[in-house]
């Protein structure tokens, strides 16, 4: 086969391919125009046989008529034939209206109890899991020496009181200085008794708050000092949850704002609370802001140290939400087909967020606008469309 024959066949194949692409691909005509192809050639590519057909037929029978050169059942494949499509209404969608973060819970008050004196553990009066009141004795140290010292101070005070009383009765026989010295001695004896009593009281280890007793790491007979941890007490009537939020929410969150928390230990159960405190600065490394929420735990179902998923709601930003199938692409970007008075028109959009059921977009769309979701291959700018059986029911607003 000669070169010119091969060259001619290649041109014919290329022309046929371009015509097929222009005929079946949405937006092909616009692409050709943008590429600088004259309008006359664009019309030839779309309708090479001047039959007036601008789109594939709506059924297999009409497609067969086109291939065989028929009239498509009474002109059903003509340029002005309405394209059968399925539409769905635009619904409002919201972004940045929710916040979910992971945090760690802690008791509203937690105290590690240590002795106020050193000595041997003689008695332990509580066990793990007990509820104790503030001032309740948890354990006792050996106190024999302190009992003796208190007894000596008590005797010294009685002697000082008797001597002071005697001096007051014989003021005429003693000097005023002697009476004064005896009064000072009596006051010192009282102070010594108070010190002995305080030393004895400190042999009892008391609960500083109301709370739940943790596991005690001590046993009777252990020698402890003022730095030895005796037990941890947790007041968990409320739980404080510390969590971190992205810095874009720094000016949105407020103290007192409602939060909802769920725990792995209580799947499906939601605990209500409020923002207790907000840190005064954003962390430079993570670009997050530390927050603290207070969760009610009157039923005592939660424990300190649990992990929580904390959720918050905000007003957010609203955008039109469309079906993912309705978003099309061409050389200029994304667009959707809007139907107004049975005519289709192209509306340029930019995608804001993708959800499983909807795509949130930014564009000239209003709530309730009908958008083509099926039959998109045959829709053209300004072309007639029809929707049998009405449009798809709109779903609930997206958030």
Is the Cβ–Cβ distance between 164 and 186 less than 8 Å? yes
| pLDDT score recorded for residue 65 | 39
- Least Cα distance to 42 among 33, 55, 34, 53 occurs for 33
Integer Cα distance of 209 and 230 in angstroms: 14
| pLDDT score recorded for residue 174 | 67
Is the Cβ–Cβ distance between 232 and 267 less than 8 Å? no
The CATH number given to 98-134+209-314 is: 2.40.30.170
- Residue whose tokens read 């957010």: 316
Q: What is the pLDDT of residues 352-367, one digit of tens each?
A: 888 778 888 888 888 8
| pLDDT score recorded for residue 63 | 39
The CATH number given to 143-202 is: 1.10.287
The predicted model scores a pTM of: 0.56
Integer Cα distance of 321 and 391 in angstroms: 16
**101 to 240, 259, 305, 314: CA distances (angstroms):** 14, 11, 16, 14
Q: Which residues pair with 206 in a beta bridge?
A: 137
Integer Cα distance of 255 and 327 in angstroms: 41
**399 to 74, 99, 101, 248, 359: CA distances (angstroms):** 48, 12, 17, 18, 11
| pLDDT score recorded for residue 42 | 60
Pick the CATH number of 84-95+317-386 from 3.50.20.10, 2.40.420.20, 3.40.50.800, 2.60.40.60: 2.40.420.20
**Domain edges within the chain:** 1-50, 84-95+317-386, 98-134+209-314, 143-202
> Which regions in the chain score pLDDT beneath 70?
1, 22-30, 32-80, 96, 171-174, 388-399
Integer Cα distance of 379 and 356 in angstroms: 25
| pLDDT score recorded for residue 58 | 37
| pLDDT score recorded for residue 53 | 43
Q: Which residues pair with 294 in a beta bridge?
A: 240, 274
**205 to 150, 226, 324, 369, 390: CA distances (angstroms):** 19, 11, 68, 74, 79
What region does 319 belong to: left with phi over 0, alpha with psi -120 to 50, or beta? beta
Is the Cβ–Cβ distance between 346 and 337 less than 8 Å? yes
Query: How many CA atoms, within 13 angstroms, populate the side-chain half-sphere of residue 260?
Result: 10
């Amino acid at each position: 086969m000669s070169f010119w024959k091969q060259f001619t066949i290649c041109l014919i194949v290329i022309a046929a391919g371009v015509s097929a692409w222009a005929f079946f691909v949405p937006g092909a005509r616009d692409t050709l125009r943008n590429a600088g192809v004259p309008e006359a050639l664009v019309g030839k590519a779309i309708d090479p046989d001047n039959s007036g057909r601008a789109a594939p037929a709506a059924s297999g029978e009409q497609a067969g008529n086109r291939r065989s050169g028929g009239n498509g059942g009474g002109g059903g494949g003509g340029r002005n034939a309405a394209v059968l499509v399925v539409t769905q209404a635009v619904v409002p969608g919201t972004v940045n209206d929710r916040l979910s973060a992971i945090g760690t819970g802690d008791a509203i008050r937690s105290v590690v109890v240590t002795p106020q004196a050193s000595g041997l553990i003689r008695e332990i009066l509580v066990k793990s899991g007990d509820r104790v009141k503030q001032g309740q004795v948890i354990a006792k140290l050996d106190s024999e020496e302190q009992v003796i010292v208190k007894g000596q101070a008590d005797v010294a005070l009685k002697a000082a009181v008797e001597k002071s009383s005697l001096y007051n009765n014989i003021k005429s026989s003693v000097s005023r200085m002697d009476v004064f010295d005896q009064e000072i001695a009596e006051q010192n004896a009282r102070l010594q008794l108070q010190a002995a009593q305080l030393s004895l009281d400190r042999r009892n280890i008391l609960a500083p708050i109301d709370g739940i007793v943790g596991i005690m790491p001590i046993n009777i007979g252990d020698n402890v000092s003022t730095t030895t941890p005796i037990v941890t007490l947790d007041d968990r009537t409320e739980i404080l949850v510390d969590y971190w939020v992205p810095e874009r929410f720094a000016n949105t969150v407020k103290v007192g704002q409602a939060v909802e928390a769920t725990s792995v230990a209580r799947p499906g159960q939601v605990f209500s609370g409020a923002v207790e405190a907000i840190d005064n600065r954003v962390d430079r490394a993570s670009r997050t802001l530390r927050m603290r929420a207070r969760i009610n735990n009157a039923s005592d179902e939660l424990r300190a140290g649990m992990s929580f998923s904390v959720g918050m709601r905000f007003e957010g930003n609203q955008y039109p939400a469309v079906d993912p199938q309705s978003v099309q692409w061409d050389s200029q970007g994304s667009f959707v087909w809007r139907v107004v008075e049975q005519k289709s028109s192209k509306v340029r959009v930019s995608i804001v967020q993708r959800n499983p059921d909807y795509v949130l977009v930014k564009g000239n769309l209003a709530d309730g606008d009908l958008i083509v979701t099926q039959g998109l291959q045959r829709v053209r700018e300004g072309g007639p469309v029809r929707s049998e059986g009405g449009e798809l029911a709109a779903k609930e607003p997206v958030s």
